[in-house]
Structure formats: structure tokens, C-alpha cells
Structure 1
Amino acid sequence: MLLRNTGILSIVVVGLVGCQQLSDFGIRTFLLTPISAIEQKKDGARVYLQGKVTHKAPFLGSGAYQLKDDSGSVWIVTTDTIPPVGEAVVIKGTVQYQSLPLAEQDWGEFYILELKQLEMEVTSR
């Protein structure tokens, strides 16, 4: 009887915990945005990206690096330290679009303004 009650209690506890957000337990979670989906986001939208640094371009007081995932690549502009080429990173940033009109066409490009480099496990959906 004790074993049966313990089993039922375990199921109830797991069920209750499973219905709560992980953030209720102090575990921060967020959804990753595939780089290929950035163009569908609004200018200024907050995104979380994960990928590998493939190129970097240091500037005076800031810099940029190219982040690549399985779906594509995008330039990340930062005032923080630029990660080394080959390093896997997770970042929080905002989508930006720089228009470049030329010969009656817009040759603009999306990029990400980095808000923070993150060090945590990520759940992707």
C-alpha cells in the first residue's frame, strides 16, 4: 500500500511541476530563432540566436562577427568582446535592417544588434 501511495504521489508531483513554467523554478528558457527566419521578424524584434562564429570585423569601440547556423548566417554588431572564429555562441539581440537603395532596388541587409552574449542551455522548438 505504501509503495502504491508513493507512486501516485510521484505522478501528482510530476504532473504539477510539468504544468508550471521552468522560469517559476529560476530556470531561464527562451526559444531560438533560426537565422533564416530573421527576415520575417519586424525591425527591432528581440531574438535569441545560436550558432558558430565564422568571420569577425573589429571596429574602433565596437565590432561585428558573422554567426552561422544550419539555416544561414547573419552579421552581429556588438560593443562587447568579439568571440573567436569557430566558437559556438548564444546571443540575445534585436533585428535591424539597413536599407541600401541602388538603381531603383533595395540592396539592404538584416543584421542583429547584440544585447547580450548568453551562457546557458537552450531549448529549441
Structure 2
Amino acid sequence: MKIIRLTGVASFLLVGILGCTSAPEVINEPASSTPSLGAVPGLGWLRSATPVSDIPALTANATDAETHLEGQVQQQVPLFNQWLYELKDDSGSIWVLTPTSPPATGETVVIRARIHYEPILVQGNDIGEHYAEELERLGAPDTPAQES
């Protein structure tokens, strides 16, 4: 009887502690009173990815918005102490800046990224572009996350 009570009390405390924590807020995910599985350390790959075509809407309300992106690596460009790689999904492509070696060309990756906008003025017209700063490479479900 004591074992059942102890197990019940421990379960109640665990549910109470987890129920009081909030998931980190990410722009493309709706606010919820319960954390999603993607908020659990090591399960970040379960979060839904933002389509590249939705990126301008993300930054309309927040400067340097944070989100998740998923796509296939198309090109790589070495920079001084950094890399750029093009990430393409079904809706478009975006350049990703990373301080670590980029994923292999053709590889599909999931990343947590901060979205930036770089204005480029040509004869008074802004033809700037959005780019992503890789914060974490989440990889596939069976691979551990890499901090950038």
C-alpha cells in the first residue's frame, strides 16, 4: 500500500512540475498551455518547420524572428570563419549563415534559426533579402542536435 501511495505522490508531483513549465515561445507555433513534444530537449526535430515562403510574414511583426526551417542543401559558399549554404524547400529557398561546417549538398536538414533582413537599396528601391542565422542543427529524428 505504501508503494502505491509513494508512486501516486511522485506521479502527482511530476505532473505538477511539468504542467507549470511553459514551452519556449517560437514565432511559428501557436501559444499553448501545455508544452509540445518539440520543446523537450532532444526532441526539437518534432517542431513544425516554417515554409520559406512564409518568412517575410514572420519578420513583419518581429525583428530577428526565431523559427525552424527544413529543406535540402543546394549550394555552399565558404566565408572567413563562417559558411553560407542555400536551404531549399517546396516553397522557395533561403541562405543560411553558420559558423560550423555546412551540411553536405543534397542533405535534408532541420535547423533552428534566427531570421534577419538585409536591405539593399538600388536607385531608391529596396531589393533586400532575408537570410537565416543557424542557431542549432536539429538533423533527422535519429541524430542528436548540434549547437552552432
Structure 1-normalised TM-score? 0.74
Percent identical: 33
1:35 maps to: 52
Q: 1:84 to 1:120 in 2, by over 3 A?
A: closer
Q: Are positions 1:22 and 2:17 aligned together?
A: no
Q: 5+ residue gaps in structure 2?
A: 1-33, 142-148
AA in 2 matched with 1:78 = T
Counterpart CA distance in 2 for 1:50 and 1:71 is 11
**2:38–2:47 contact (8 Å) kept in structure 1:** no
Q: CA deviation at 1:104?
A: 1.0
Q: 5+ residue gaps in structure 1?
A: 1-18
Q: Secondary structure at the match of 2:54?
A: helix
Among candidates 65, 83, 88, match of residue 63 of structure 1: 83
Q: 1:52 to 1:23 in 2, by over 3 A?
A: closer
2:64 maps to: 44
Q: 1:24 to 1:51 in 2, by over 3 A?
A: closer
Point out the structure with the larger strand share: 1
Q: CA deviation at 1:31?
A: 2.0
Structure 2-normalised TM-score? 0.63
AA in 2 matched with 1:22 = L
1:3 maps to: none
Counterpart CA distance in 1 for 2:38 and 2:87 is 27
AA in 1 matched with 2:94 = V
Q: 1:31 to 1:104 in 2, by over 3 A?
A: same
Counterpart CA distance in 1 for 2:49 and 2:128 is 24
Give a deviation string over 1:41-72, Cα, whole Å, max 9, x none: 12311110110000110112001000000111
AA in 1 matched with 2:37 = L
Does 1 or 2 have the higher relative contact order (CA < 8 Å, sep 6+)?
1
2:7 maps to: none
**2:69–2:111 contact (8 Å) kept in structure 1:** yes
Q: Secondary structure at the match of 2:84?
A: strand
Find the structure with the greater CA-based Rg: 1
